[in-house]
Amino acid sequence: MNITFDKRARKFLKSLPEEDKGRISGHIDLFSVNGFNMTGKYLKKIENNLWELRPGSIRVFFGLINSDAIIVNIFRKKTQKTPKQEIETAKRRLKEY
């Protein structure tokens, strides 16, 4: 599976500490190998074509376009519930593809 980053998601990723970048990279690699067979601890379906990778307190939203995973939003989760604004941002960016 081909994995592509939205430029805004890549910009946020570059601003993170090396430890967080490594954790995110590891989860993305794990997904590229195992796909949707990952457990709920690492992967969660948010809506129809919106999925969430869960590396620690960071959330990585992606969708599938023509069998390619497009990472559209990355953010640090600060509360128990995922903010609706972050979900809406991910959905809006995914529509651009």
Per-domain boundaries in the chain = 3-95
How far, in Å, are 9, 22, 29, 34 from residue 15 at the CA level? 10, 13, 20, 27
How far, in Å, are 24, 33, 43, 55, 93 from residue 36 at the CA level? 17, 9, 8, 15, 22
Mean pLDDT of 75-92: 92
For 96, phi and psi rounded to 5 degrees?
-65, -20
Q: Which amino acid is at 34?
A: N
User: Residue 70 above 90 pLDDT?
Assistant: yes
In this structure, CATH architecture of domain 3-95: 2-Layer Sandwich (3.30)
pLDDT digits (tens, 9 = 90+) for 84-94: 999 999 999 99
Instruction: Please give the pLDDT value at position 79.
Output: 87
Instruction: Please give the pLDDT value at position 38.
Output: 86
pLDDT digits (tens, 9 = 90+) for 1-57: 789 999 999 999 999 999 999 999 999 999 998 888 888 889 999 998 999 999 989
Instruction: Please give the pLDDT value at position 13.
Output: 94
Instruction: Please give the pLDDT value at position 40.
Output: 83
Compute the chain's Rg from CA coordinates.
12
For 44, phi and psi rounded to 5 degrees?
-140, 140
